[in-house]
Amino acid sequence: MKNKTFSSSTKTLNQFKVAAEHSTPKYIDFSNRVMEQLDNDVTSQGGSVRSMSTSRYIRKPIFMIAATLIIIMLSGFGYMKFGWGLSLTDQEGNAVMNIRTGSGEVRDEENNIANKVKSTLAVNEGAMIVYGREAIDAAKSGEIPINYTSVTKGEIFTNVNKLYSQLQGVMKEVTLPMEINDAKYVESELAYSPISKINPVASLWQEVTDKESHMSYAYQSTEMTDQILTLQNRYEQGNTEYLLDISPSDQPTADFYVDKVSSSNVYRLAGVAVYRTSIDGKEMLIWNRVVDGGSLLYWLSSDSANIKKMKAFAEEVIKSYSSIK
């Protein structure tokens, strides 16, 4: 077994935060609400301001000229195609995940800086980072910067029973198989959400100029909430590593943003609609599991496994919790 430091990808955590704060989840049935949504899509002209805890920005208005509804039944589950993207459904026809057009990724320079700051943190400690002279000056004066990243270092668990004792809310529904297709469970990182609150006291900010990118940035430690942000689990099979991330929500429907939405990226695995995407060229499979009180968003990635092996891994994960009564 490899002996190495376990660390969640900052970009993966950023995507979780983006999905969480972008989401305005609405439970969609396939009757009147669908037609109301279509009417709204066709008649609305304009956009909205969206914010997120990582990389805050103002999204440009999207003008919906027309929306065409297409229902495609794929052996027990379907998806609905709208002007904004796809709505994936379960076998009962309920919407469980919306795949929307839009980018929530962080620039590589900022991602690298965020990882450096994270490496300085203690377990269960968070930090807020701002980039550039203008943002630094604004943050010191107490203003909310347009662009910032919040990072957190989670606690590592190698014993699942100890991990389960720390889970709360919908995360109590999480179960982790000890072995999946010959890949053995290694460890998990449980990360909590930091409080996105800026303290304007100048002395609390540490200013740095990154040696690689020459970008100026400043960061300060933040208090942590008791809300779980994400749980990342590592499995290994020889030199192949699988990372299975799970993020909680109190809503039954999850929103996920990609640069380009494609129905060809929708798979059916163990009766569940799964979407294939990528971040920085790394393949990922995502799906949403509806549970009592909300849902759990699953992400599966691997540096070395091909998509066929990833699909087989994801299918076994789904089967493992689907068999629990």
150 with 290: CB under 8 angstroms?
no
Q: Tell me, what's the pLDDT at 279?
A: 76
The span from the CA of 273 to the CA of 270, in Å, is 9
Q: What is the pLDDT of residues 143-175, one digit of tens each?
A: 877 777 888 999 999 999 999 999 999 999 999
Q: Tell me, what's the pLDDT at 6?
A: 41
Residue 216, strand partner residues = 209
Q: Tell me, what's the pLDDT at 196?
A: 72
CA nearest to 271, candidates 71, 86, 77, 73: 77
The span from the CA of 45 to the CA of 34, in Å, is 19
Q: What is the pLDDT of residues 264-299, one digit of tens each?
A: 999 999 999 999 998 767 899 999 999 999 999 999
Q: In this structure, what DSSP letter does residue 36 have?
A: H
Would you call 129 helix, strand, or coil by DSSP?
strand
Q: Tell me, what's the pLDDT at 78?
A: 66
Q: Which helix (H) or strand (E) holds 319?
A: helix 307-322
The domain limits of the chain are 1-102+154-194+226-325
85 with 112: CB under 8 angstroms?
no
- Which band of pLDDT confidence, cut at 50, 70 and 90, is reported for residue 103? low
